[in-house]
Structure 1
Amino acid sequence: MFEVRDKPEMVERALLVRICADRREEEEDASLLEELGELVSTLGIGVAESLLVFTRSLHKKYLCGTGKAAEVVELARAHECDCIVFDNMFLPSQQRNWEELADMCVIDREEVILDIFSKRAQTREARLQVDLARMQYSLPRLTRMWGHLDREGGGGKGGGGASRGMGEQQIEVDRRLARTRIDQCKRELAEVRKQRDTRRKEREKQSTPCAAIAGYTNAGKSTLLNQISGADIMAKDMLFATLDTTTRAIELPDGQPLLLTDTVGFVRNLPHRLVEAFKATLEESVLADFIIHVLDASSPEIEKFYKTTMEVLEELGAGDKPVITVLNKIDALNDPVKLAGLEVSFPNTISVSAKTGEGMDTLMARCSEMLADRVTTRTYRIPQSRGDIPGLLHRDAKVLSTEYEGNDMLLTAIVPAAIAGKIAEFCVDA
């Protein structure tokens, strides 16, 4: 059976490298390399050293020249590393060239992210998405994995060599098994999407509005959902702590229900195949009524993180959704001047601390404003003969007060537009 090599399981100490062709982007490259260090640490791999390698132009074989490549390998050996992790994304041939030169494990940014995803995925859907992305990544990289094996014998009868075919190489068997697994993952994901569509249609029948919490990884999205809804989603100070979407129902200040969905965080240079593989999860952002975009106010890279998230949302087709921008972690900022500057740079934002709860009331009020056209407060005079109307209002609206006048019931409620028309004849203040 074909299996993907889980390289990081064999790795204890790594050299981190980013190959750059433009010194004017050195600050950005250093930031990306630092982020790679956080990603690698998330896998439990020790980092010996981080290195920026500058080259005049990107080469086909190693991305850098052979001399620079030899220097990188020598540095890795000097630190007694058992792996070189590149922040660049390699072609399969480039990865093989580096492994042959270094005689050690070599992985790129995409493989690091894939391995984090495979460790964190919990639900069936997330595991399927990870399997699909890993298989698609590994399929073109099988060429040298089985180079030590000879061809299998052909199956012809008799002893004559001419009657025997060449047989299949192990790599051909594994490629076929990998393609079969890819097709199987796609079929199972299609079934999962059908189930999600069924659940979503049920929500739509109830006219329950939805909001997706999106943002850069480790911005505090899960902590925010926990604070608002009282959920107990894992929320840790690490990249990609959340891979599975979680939806919780809350009640807004105006009594309207709202479904809040926590989504997987984004990173810069997110591999395109991961965007494709996780579309079933990320499409919650596309189908939501509005998006709560969470930013880490304490991060020096906040503007780049904002840009990255908006680019991914645009790629997913959610670029035109109404957005509430939230500056989170103001408790860790401790700089009123900087916070004021951020509020100017990102207009119409809400400053909150998901950890302490500061600003949550303002955020909830803004969510109510986003859905103001969906509800209205009305008073109804309901005769005793229509006992079904109070039941409908208690089930699908928020009843504020109930009084009795003669044989009629006077009932004031916050009513969704979906049922307001059905009971308009009983309204006394329209």
Structure 2
Amino acid sequence: MANFLDPKKPTTRALLIGVQTPDMASGEGAELLSELHELVENIGLSISPHSQLISLRDRAQPKFLIGSGKTAEIIAIAKEDGADVIVIDEELSPAQQRNWEEESGLAVIDRQEVILEIFADRAQTREAVLQVALARMEYSLPRLTRAWSHLSRQRGKGKMGGEGETQLEQDRRLVRNRITHLKEELVQVISQRATQRRKRQRTPVPGAAIVGYTNAGKSTLLNKLTGAQVLAADKLFATLDPTTRQLALPDGRTLLLTDTVGFIRRLPHRLVEAFKATLEEVVAADFLIHLLDGSNPNVDHHHETTLAVLGELGAAERPTLTVFNKTDAIEPKTLARLRAQHPEALFISVHTGEGLDKLLARFEELAVDDQQAVELLIPHSRYDVVAKLHGAGRIKEQESLDEGVRISGRFPRKSAALFTPFLVEPKPAKKKPAKAQRKSR
């Protein structure tokens, strides 16, 4: 991957080029360019005021993606503006990227490379670091010639070939070996994670995952509800690693609540693949909380993007609670429209606390959808089971008898292995004594 950040300069100036294609909705290119602006700021680049949106009226051109005349115009603007890098809001092929750089003499990157840089900067856990490294290596492999443009790539006489070709082949071999090694490490890490997940599933505690577009307030919601200290910054992809915390529901039960990586339009597919292991938390959850920033003008697109990514992950059929956040900042007309479009959704403000009581009540309802009403008699020697049941479900009655502890309540069917050995017939309801009739004189 090209190093487009010059360490000798305090900042690097970027000229952003958005693209509106015939198959895009009207104004979508401008929205994506605005989003690219925020993405690029997240990797520390200053933005040229001459950034612009162009329209592709016909099919994409194979050499530069856009026509040669428009390419020359953009390069002239970049040089006049003193830009160090041109960022194009489309996926460039390795050949197109190379053609741009040879034509301009500047670094030229696409949306994929910007997102990869952000992910590389934000990854913290071993799994996330490995996943990002793998995605970057797979992206870089067909682009290695960019790093060796100063060497001769002419085939020399003899078996070894030219200097540049030899070095390039060595680097390709190193990258392929690194990719193989990363995949092997990931298999081990994913296996360890699966073991941890199986242990959690054996513990009869329901789980929910917070999903949504990046910067919707997922980490802030987790912190508010559980008292966690997850980084919650006003920037895209502030956190990449899933974080699970225990949430005490009002009825006394425990819910495992997981914060996941945010989604984004045009997320590079290799990152979706690379993060499937991390996002398995979504598939394993009993239900999903789809959190949206209701104050964002692009909230409808964010809703569609998240649903599309959930579909790719095989989680589209999970029970999902739609929640619009930041009601304190939503325009009244927009709020009325969203309520009409999503009558089943909840509207909250994590900042002010509005609607959080209703949110917790819905958590309780969703957590009992798959629960079974049972009567249990547990020996006094198995108070470990009694303790687990208190955290797993809803205990209505508990009575200590000579033969053990009798419990009446509702518990998840997935924890049947825990309570089935102690099932008993329901205790018959006590009959009320009949009122004595007065004798008539």
Q: TM-score, normalised by structure 1?
A: 0.89
Contact 2:244 2:258 in 1 (8 A): yes
Contact 1:255 1:414 in 2 (8 A): no
Displacement of 1:428 in angstroms is 2.5
Aligned-partner residue type, residue 97 of structure 1? N
Q: 1:74 aligns with which of 73, 76, 79?
A: 76
2:385 corresponds to which residue? Answer: 392
Q: Structure 1, residues 176-210: CA drift from partner, whole Å, max 9, x if none?
A: 00001111111111111100110111112113222
Q: Mapping of 1:174-253 within 5 angstroms? A: 174-253=171-250
**CA apart distance, 1:414:** 5.4
Match for residue 146 of structure 2? 144
Deviation sequence 1:51-98 (CA, Å, 0-9, x none): 012233221111111111111111111211111111111001111111
1:353 paired to 2:349: yes
Report the equivalent of 1:339. Answer: 335
CA distance in 1, matches of 2:274, 2:333: 41
Match of 2:54 in 1: 53
Deviation at 1:149, TM superposition (A): 3.0
**Number of matched pairs:** 416
Change (3 A) 1:166 1:67: closer
Post-superposition offset of 1:410: 6.1
1:130-141 aligned at under 5 Å gives the runs: 130-141=132-143
* Structure 1 residue matching 2:247: 3-state secondary structure: strand
Q: Which residue number corresponds to residue 30 of structure 2?
A: 30
Residues 249, 258 of structure 1: 8 Å contact kept: yes
Q: Say if 1:216 and 1:295, in contact at 8 Å, map to a contact too.
A: yes
Structure 2 residue runs without a partner (length 5+): 430-441
The answer as to whether partners of 1:393 and 1:415 remain within 8 angstroms in 2 is no
Q: Note if contact 1:12-1:82 (Cα within 8 Å) is conserved in structure 2.
A: yes
- Look up the SS of the partner of 1:169 in the other structure: helix
Residue 364, structure 1, aligned to residue 373, structure 2:
no
Residue 117 (structure 1) aligns with = 119
Q: Output the amino acid matched with 2:39.
A: L
Q: Residues 201-233 of structure 1: CA distance to partner in whole angstroms, max 9, x if unpaired? A: 111211322211110010111111111111010
CA contact (8 A) 2:374 2:423 kept: no
TM-score, normalization by structure 2: 0.87
- The answer to whether the 8 Å contact 1:23/1:54 transfers is no
Identify the range of structure 1 (366-375 vs 267-276) with the bigger mean alpha-carbon deviation. Answer: 366-375
Give me the whole-angstrom Cα distance separating, in 2, the residues matched to 1:373 and 1:337. 34
Aligned to 1:275: 272
Task: Write the letter of the residue equivalent to 1:76.
Answer: A
Any idea what the Cα deviations from partners look like across 1:332-358, whole Å, max 9, x if unmatched?
22x344213212212310111122222
SS at match of 2:309: helix
Corresponding position of 1:158 = none
Contact 2:210 2:260 in 1 (8 A): yes
SS at match of 2:246: strand
Asked whether the 8 Å contact 2:207–2:256 carries over to 1, the reply is: yes
Distance 1:23 1:249, change over 3 A: closer
Alpha-carbon distance in structure 1 between the residues aligned to 2:93 and 2:428: 68
Match of 2:287 among 287, 290, 297: 290
Q: Which residue of 1 aligns with 2:433?
A: none
Return the alpha-carbon distance in structure 2 between the equivalents of residues 204 and 355 of structure 1: 32
In structure 1, the partner of 2:434 is none
Output the CA distance in 2 between the equivalents of 1:146 and 1:287.
Answer: 45
CA RMSD of aligned residues (A): 2.7
The equivalent residue for 1:63 is 65
Q: Which residue of 1 aligns with 2:319?
A: 322
